[in-house]
Amino acid sequence: MFAALISFLLLFRVLAIAAYPPSSRQETYLAHAHIRPSLNVSSCPGYKVVSEKQTNYGLIVQLALAGPPCNAFGHDIINLTVEVTYQTPSRLRVNIYDNARTQFAIPQDVISLSAAEDDPSLKDHSDLEFRHSSNPFEFWISRRSDPDGEPLFDTRARSLPPTPIPPVISDDDSTALDGFPLVFEDQYLQLTSALPLGANIYGLGEVLASSGFRRDVGTDGGAGTIQTMWSIGTSDPIDENTYGSHPVYMEHRYDPKTRRSKSHGVFHFGAAGSDILLLTPPSSSSSLIQYRMIGGTLDFYFFSGPSPQQVIEQYGALVGYPTWQPAWGFGFHLCRWGYRDVNETREQVTKMREANIPLEVMWNDIDLYHAVRDFTTDPVSFPADEMKAFIGDLTANQQHYIPIVDAAIAKVVNASDVYDPYTRGNELDIWTKNPDGSEYLGRSRPGYAVFPDWFANDTGAYWTEALRNWSRAGVNYSGIWLDVNEPTSLCIGSCGTGANLSEATVQSPPALVTEYPEGYNASIWGPSGNITINGTLTFGNDSLVAHIHAKRGLGAAGQPGVDINDPPYTLHNAYGVLSNNTVSTNATHANGAVELDTHNLWGLMEGKATHLSLLELRPGKRPFMISRSTFPSSGRWTGHWLGDNISKWQYMYLSIQGVLQFQLFQIPFVGADTCGFQGNTDEELCNRWMQLSAFMPFYRNHNVRRALSQEPYRWDSVANASRSAISIRYSLLPYWYTLFANASMRGTPPIRALFFEFPDEPELFSVDRQYMIGRDLLVTPVLTPNVSTVDGIFPGQGRVKWRDWYTHGVVDAAISQNTTLDAPLGHINVHIRDGSALLLYDSPAYTIAETRQSPFALLVAQASDGYAFGTAYLDDGESVQPTPNTTLTMTASKGELTIRPQGDFDVQQRLAKIIVLGAGRAPPVDIRINRKPLTHSSRWRFDAALERLAISGLSLDLNSPVELTWSQ
């Protein structure tokens, strides 16, 4: 079967090549009009250095093919340039490109990376050092501070295992490793680096990895990883490519001799479809990473760290820091695909208020549309005047509204059809084209459809106009939800040829979702679906099974003289052929580029255009946006939700690694569809998930139509759990807000894997069932059914004191091992790290606006030596930066606490309460605030068992310094 497939590909390849005449543009290619690809790199000669020149900022090396071409999966390019640039003390660029520059590179107006520092001394003082050999050309990156240490990136054959190597993943022939030369062809590029055996690799997504947040490199019983970079709209598969493409990873290395760790990062800046392999051949003393790309160049950036946080910040400094979020975005959001009309949508707002479950933002899915068309409202179910009134009521109650925007614009197919967004796009000539210049036609939710070409000059203006008209027509949105923007299309190739364009375009109603919730056995418990029957839990653990799809697929590349649609190298695309379920690879853009080269950029470019439109339409207000498809630098423009997940316990667990990945990708405002999107949830799962998501950045409950309703008021236990969790979330808003201010100013990740904060503790390197919010809060959620306890590790190896959020009691934690914690239904474990100082809202309210009017409280958890530290960033919560702001710095030592403001924002809310944990074992005898004694003993309490000093009834102005002292 495999041989027959190869024969077919070769025949197709020969026919395709024959269709293209030789071109003078390809003078740096070998003559290749009828060359058959060998499908094997074992004979590839690599490259040799022909000249090199030192520059002020690095090195330029000229390469030539070192022998006869192998034409493995394309046509070898003879002459290459290696440009090495020391850009900052912690960032090094190695860019390998073809001299003629015919390969696609990401245009600067799409992604503008930060410039290198103008400092020639970086060549000698950077923490990273580039070294290379001449024949064959190989390079390796080392730390200048550790010149004899193992290189951070190493392409030398001597560092890699001997080849050929049979398939490392036994059921995938493509994981046979025939050789490790540098391969640079028009439609296939290959570069391989050695890794330490069993390396700790994080990133390379977007993916739901069965191995967890730490990627499987093929040791410890794992098979290895093939991460495909090709954005598609598949519904949350495991171990496959999905909505976004992020070719960046962090490696974390631990030295058992010194018991210290260092991290570094590697980023490939390219949009080409690719496979990135993490493998460990049998009996090998090293693991490896191999890049296989079907176009583009080998443009790499290396980040020296050495801490995990610094690696993430250094990557952010290159691609751009995350956009500023409006304060209301941290509230609870509610959505459903299946709210039939405006009245049912309004009913959810009413019922949430009646249940006293805070609701900040109401959303509508595509039910809102007329004929499933963007920028419309259905005249029967969502009349424009009723939508205007409904959104007006939300606004009056300090709530918000967000609608969906799909990627495809419906095509007008007859003279009686009036749809201005399509007609206007025709006038401006902004649709993606076929190679012959005709309109590219896809098929999506509205039926036959066209796709905006983000490379066309007038597309941004068109998009702004469409959003403006929609708002004026009654949909006065506060933000925008960008969906299916990989983009999704149900034709392979353009749908226009031979299509009956007059056929019905509206989707048929889906079937009722009739499956019982996960783990429920109706033959035992009957049809009720209840969490318990006669006091017995009804979840059966035998149904907790992974959801895994097939892995194989075909790939393509786009460049004159090569096969655009079906080249020899086969990417492991989850949908097979690259044009399956998306815009075809030969679709052509205004700048002459084809979709094959630009595909992974589509979601980013739509997000950027939408952000800029919102800035124009809502001057001075921060745009709020969530996008499904993302790419490096998307965080500058948008947040992200983790897609069409499934109402299963496994997917609640997987949401943690998804959020952790996107911290590394510099898209920190991220969260999952709470309680699950696809299938039927149940009371226990929704209870636990509503609690978990309250401690994630983006907090939205969203599910599919015709499934069981899962709004949190539907079950008493879920309502109670939600109220409790949301109250904590809203009280923590100053902390959340500060974390995201730090992300926007410095790229610091708000959500952190445990080892980010405790990098020298190997027992934490694979932990992804717990996580930290900033440096101060540890979250240990319940992720399995039928339990009333949960196991969690407490970092610090006994040197850190952890206190329970609810009781303030110190945890008697095992050292470097799990501790069992009580976790009855409705309770999520949260613990406070010693040495922290948290500014809180003392009286969290129903909306974010009301909560922000609450007085402040300060919670201080002193370390054993009395030390504690924290900051709080405050501004108006909605203005585009720069805007007036004030940062409070809170510092504690034994018997003393100071708060010092710096900035120009007028902090109107007063500080009403101070709680100090670890304040001493005996009651204080003298308490002073700003040197004045606190004479009324009724205003403070002391709990010796908790070493807690609580002072209430205060009204302290935070625009001036505050000093609290106490003595015992």
Give the relative orientation of helices 683-693 and 716-731 as an angle to the nearest 10 degrees: 0
Check if the beta carbon of residue 291 is closer than 8 Å to that of residue 155. no
Active site residue: 313, 566, 644, 682, which one? 644
For 926, counting Cβ atoms within 10 Å of its Cβ (0-12 exposed, 13-18 middle, 19+ buried), the class is: exposed
Q: What does each C-alpha distance from 316 to 111, 402, 430 come to in angstroms?
A: 13, 28, 32
Distance CA 199, CA 176 (A): 20
Helix (H, G, I), strand (E, B) or coil at 757: helix
| Kind of pairing between the strands at 699-703 and 673-674 | parallel
Q: Environment class of residue 257 by beta-carbon count within 10 Å: exposed (0-12), middle (13-18) or buried (19+)?
A: exposed
Q: How many other CB atoms are found less than 10 A from the CB of residue 620?
A: 9
Residue 116 CB burial class (10 angstroms; 0-12, 13-18, ≥19) = middle
d(CA 446, CA 431): 16
* C-alpha to C-alpha distances, 244 to 322, 323, 640, nearest whole angstrom: 16, 18, 10
What is the phi/psi pair of residue 12, to 5°? -60, -40
Gap between the Cα atoms of 249 and 259, Å rounded: 23
- Going from the C-alpha of 96 to that of each of 77, 80, 248, 301, 495, the distances in angstroms are 12, 7, 17, 11, 38
Q: In angstroms, rounded to a whole number, what is the distance separating the alpha carbons of residues 449 and 587? A: 14
Residues 6+ apart with CB under 8 A from 791: 818, 819, 820, 821
Told to judge if 236 belongs to the known catalytic residues of this protein, a careful annotator would answer no
Secondary structure in 3-state letters for 499-565: CCCCCCCCCCCCCCCCCCCCCECHHHHCCCCCCEECCEECECHHHCCCCECCCCCCCCCCCCCCCCC
CA–CA separation, 301 vs 367, rounded Å?
44
Token pair for 478: 């506060």
DSSP 813-868: PPSSSEEEEE--TT--EEEEETTEEEEEESS--SSHHHHTTSPEEEEEE--TTS-E
Cα distance between residue 507 and residue 490, in whole Å: 13
Residue of 251, 486, 563, 842 marked catalytic: 486
Nearest Cα to Cα of residue 195 among 277, 271, 297 = 277
Amino acid at 4: A
374 catalytic residue (yes or no):
no
Judge whether 644 counts as a catalytic residue: yes
C-alpha separations of 364 from 336, 337, 443, 553 in Å: 7, 7, 22, 35
Which of 412, 371, 339 lies closest to 507, judged by CA? 371
User: How does 576-587 read in b/e, with b if 16+ C-beta sit within 10 Å?
Assistant: bbbbbbbbbbbb
DSSP codes of every residue in 372-425? T-TT---TTTS-HHHHHHHHHHHHHTT-EEEEEE-S-EEPP-STT---HHHHHH
Angle at which helix 733-746 crosses helix 308-319, to 10 degrees, equals 60
Q: How far apart are CA 154 and CA 192, in angstroms?
A: 8
Please identify which of the residues 483, 563, 761, 834 carries the catalytic annotation: 483
Tokens 């499933």 belong to: 372
Contacts with 399 (C-beta within 8 Å, 6 or more apart), sequence order: 349, 359, 360, 361, 362, 847
- State the catalytic residues: 483, 486, 644
